[in-house]
C-alpha cells in the first residue's frame, strides 16, 4: 500500500504526464500534414484581409480535429504584427449563443464581461471591436453540435461580415457527429459549410508512431517497450482508430504499474488498462452525445433494466433485445416529461443509426417467432451506468428521478 510520501515522491514511471493527455498539442502533428495545410489554405484569405471562408472539421473522436485546429490557431497567434485574433470555445461548456458570445467578449474585451449585456449588445460590441482597426477574428467552435440554439448562433455570427465596413469573422466548426447538420436551417447550413475537411481514423501503424513519440517524453527511459506500444496501437485501431483511446490506455497502464510499485510497464499492465479505458471511453462518448440522442439512449437503458412484457422485451438466452417501437414510445414520454419536444420517427431512426455507429448499441432485424417486421435493439453497456451518466449530464440528477416519471 502506498503512503502519502510515496505519492508525493518522484514517479518511477512518468516523466511528463501532461504529454499523455488528449488535450496536449504536440509541436508536430504526424499524419495530419494534409489536413493542417487545408485548414491553412481555408484561412489564408482572412489573414490577407479578404472575407474569410467558414470551415467545418468532421471525423470520429480521436482523429485529430481539435489538435489540428489548435495547431493552426497557435501558428496564427505567432505571426508577427498580425491583426488576426483567435477564440477557442468548447461548446460542451459554452452551449448557447449567449454563452459563446460572452466567452468571446471575456477573452478579447474583458471589461465588458459579466455586465448583464444581452446577446445583441454582445454581438454589437464584438462587431465594433473587429471593425475599429480591421481585425480578423477566427473562432473555433469545438463540439459545435452541442450548442442548443445553433441556428441562432450561426445566423448571428455570419451576419457580422455582411454588416461591417472592415475586418472579418471566420468560423471553424468541429464535430464528430455529421448527422447534426441535418437539424440546421438551410440558411445556417449554407453559411457554415463553405469548406469541409473529413478526418479519417488512424490505422495501427500511425497510432504506433503517435504514441511512441508521446511515450518518449511522457514516460521515463526504458519504462515501456515497443511490444507493449504495438499492443496499444492495435487495440486503439480496433476501437475506430481513436488516438485519445490509446493515450487513455497509456495513462492507465502507467498508473497501474506505479500503484504496484513497479519501475517498468509490461504487457499485462496494458491489457488491464485496455479494459479500464474501454469502460471510461464509452461513458465519455455517452456524456458528449447530442441531447436528443441521449434521451433515446436513456429510453433504451430504462427498458433494458425493466423486466417488461412481451410487447416491450424479448429475451433470447443471455441477451435482451428491445423493440424499436417501444423505445420510440418511451423516448417521446421522457421528452415530454422533461419539456423537450420529441422528434419525428424519421429523426429517431437517424439517432438509432448514430448510436450504432458510436458502438453503444447494436440493432437486428426481427426474425421468425415475432409477429410483423421490426427492429430489435441491444444495449452494449451496463444499463445502470448508462442511466447514471445520462442523468448527470443532461438532467442534472443523482439517479432515478426521470425514470420514475
- Tell me: do 356 and 264 sit in the same domain: no
Residue at 314 is within a domain: yes
- Tell me: do 182 and 240 sit in the same domain: no
Number of domains present in the structure of the chain: 3
Residue that terminates a domain, selected from 169, 199, 229: 199
- Tell me: do 318 and 180 sit in the same domain: no
Higher-confidence residue of 367 and 277: namely: 277
Residue at 400 is within a domain: no
Identify the CATH number of the domain in which residue 280 sits: 1.10.8.60
Residue that terminates a domain, selected from 287, 320, 343: 287
- Tell me: do 238 and 379 sit in the same domain: no
Query: Is residue 32 over pLDDT 90?
Result: yes
- Tell me: do 187 and 214 sit in the same domain: no
Q: Per the structure block, which three cell numbers stand in for 313? A: 422485451
Query: Is residue 158 over pLDDT 50?
Result: yes
The confidence score (pLDDT) of residue 165 equals 84
Helices and strands (DSSP H and E) totals, the chain: 15, 9
Instruction: Give percent of the chain with pLDDT exceeding 90.
Output: 51
Query: Domain residues for 154?
Result: 33-199
Instruction: Please tell me the total number of residues recorded for the chain in this structure.
Output: 405
- Tell me: do 177 and 230 sit in the same domain: no
- Tell me: do 193 and 209 sit in the same domain: no
Residue at 401 is within a domain: no
Q: Per the structure block, which three cell numbers stand in for 242? A: 481513436
Residue at 10 is within a domain: yes
CB 200 within 8 A of CB 63: yes
**Cα atoms in the Cβ-side hemisphere of radius 13 Å centred on 326:** 20
In whole angstroms, how far apart are CA 200 and each of 26, 203, 237?
A: 19, 9, 12
Residue at 168 is within a domain: yes
Residue that terminates a domain, selected from 287, 317, 336: 287
Query: Is residue 251 over pLDDT 80?
Result: yes
Residue at 105 is within a domain: yes
The confidence score (pLDDT) of residue 359 equals 73
The confidence score (pLDDT) of residue 314 equals 46
- Tell me: do 37 and 162 sit in the same domain: yes
Residue at 214 is within a domain: yes
Give the pLDDT band (50/70/90) at residue 41: very high
Query: Is residue 364 over pLDDT 90?
Result: no
Rounded to an integer, the average pLDDT of 83-105 is: 93
CB 268 within 8 A of CB 360: no
The confidence score (pLDDT) of residue 256 equals 96
- Tell me: do 140 and 129 sit in the same domain: yes
Query: Is residue 46 over pLDDT 90?
Result: no
Beta-sheet pairing, 319-323 with 168-175: unpaired
The confidence score (pLDDT) of residue 82 equals 87
Give the pLDDT band (50/70/90) at residue 49: confident
Q: Which of 181-195, 261-275, 305-319 has the highest mean pLDDT?
A: 261-275
Render pLDDT for 215-246 as a digit per residue (tens, 0 to 9): 999 999 999 999 999 999 999 998 888 999 99
Residue at 329 is within a domain: yes
Give the pLDDT band (50/70/90) at residue 61: confident
Query: Is residue 313 over pLDDT 50?
Result: no
- Tell me: do 276 and 325 sit in the same domain: no
Rounded to an integer, the average pLDDT of 244-254 is: 95
Query: Is residue 317 over pLDDT 90?
Result: no
Render pLDDT for 257-285 as a digit per residue (tens, 0 to 9): 999 999 999 999 999 999 898 878 777 77
- Tell me: do 153 and 59 sit in the same domain: yes
CB 153 within 8 A of CB 123: no
Identify the CATH number of the domain in which residue 157 sits: 3.40.50.300
Rounded to an integer, the average pLDDT of 2-13 is: 66
- Tell me: do 195 and 47 sit in the same domain: yes
Query: Is residue 78 over pLDDT 60?
Result: yes
Amino acid at each position: 500500500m502506498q503512503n502519502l510520501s510515496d505519492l508525493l515522491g518522484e514517479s518511477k514511471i512518468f516523466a511528463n504526464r501532461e504529454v499523455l493527455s488528449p488535450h496536449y498539442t504536440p509541436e508536430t502533428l504526424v499524419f495530419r500534414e494534409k489536413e493542417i495545410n487545408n485548414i491553412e489554405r481555408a484561412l489564408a484569405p482572412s489573414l490577407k484581409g479578404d472575407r474569410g471562408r467558414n470551415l467545418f472539421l468532421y471525423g470520429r473522436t480521436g482523429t485529430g480535429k481539435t489538435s489540428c485546429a489548435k495547431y493552426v490557431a497557435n501558428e496564427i497567434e505567432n505571426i508577427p504584427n498580425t491583426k488576426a485574433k483567435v477564440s477557442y470555445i468548447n461548446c460542451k461548456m459554452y452551449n448557447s449563443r449567449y454563452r459563446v458570445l460572452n466567452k468571446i467578449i471575456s477573452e478579447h474585451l474583458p471589461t465588458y464581461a459579466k455586465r448583464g449585456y444581452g446577446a445583441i449588445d454582445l454581438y454589437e460590441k464584438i462587431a465594433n471591436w473587429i471593425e475599429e482597426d480591421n481585425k480578423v477574428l477566427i473562432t473555433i467552435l469545438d463540439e459545435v453540435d452541442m450548442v442548443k440554439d445553433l441556428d441562432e448562433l450561426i445566423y448571428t455570427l455570419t451576419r457580422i461580415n455582411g454588416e461591417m465596413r472592415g475586418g472579418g469573422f471566420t468560423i471553424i466548426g468541429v464535430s464528430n457527429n455529421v448527422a447534426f447538420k441535418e437539424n440546421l436551417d438551410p440558411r445556417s447550413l449554407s453559411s457554415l459549410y463553405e469548406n469541409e475537411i473529413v478526418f479519417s481514423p488512424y490505422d495501427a501503424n500511425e497510432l504506433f508512431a503517435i504514441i511512441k513519440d508521446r511515450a518518449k517524453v511522457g514516460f521515463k527511459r526504458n519504462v515501456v517497450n515497443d511490444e507493449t506500444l504495438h499492443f496499444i496501437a492495435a487495440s486503439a485501431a480496433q476501437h475506430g482508430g481513436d488516438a485519445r483511446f490509446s493515450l487513455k490506455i497509456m495513462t492507465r497502464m502507467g498508473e497501474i504499474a506505479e500503484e504496484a510499485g513497479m519501475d517498468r510497464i509490461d504487457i499485462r499492465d496494458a491489457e488491464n488498462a485496455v479494459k479500464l479505458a474501454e469502460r471510461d471511453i464509452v461513458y465519455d462518448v455517452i456524456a458528449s452525445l447530442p441531447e436528443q440522442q441521449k434521451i433515446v439512449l436513456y429510453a433504451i437503458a430504462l427498458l433494458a433494466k425493466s423486466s417488461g412484457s412481451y410487447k416491450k422485451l424479448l429475451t433470447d438466452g443471455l441477451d435482451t433485445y428491445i423493440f424499436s417501437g417501444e423505445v420510440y414510445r418511451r423516448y417521446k414520454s421522457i421528452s415530454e416529461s422533461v419539456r423537450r419536444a420529441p422528434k419525428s420517427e424519421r429523426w429517431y431512426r437517424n439517432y438509432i443509426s448514430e448510436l450504432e455507429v458510436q458502438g453503444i448499441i447494436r440493432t437486428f432485424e426481427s426474425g421468425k417467432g415475432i409477429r410483423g417486421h421490426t427492429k430489435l435493439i441491444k444495449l452494449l453497456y451496463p444499463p445502470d451506468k448508462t442511466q447514471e451518466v445520462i442523468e448527470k449530464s443532461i438532467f442534472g440528477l443523482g439517479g432515478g428521478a426521470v425514470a420514475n416519471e
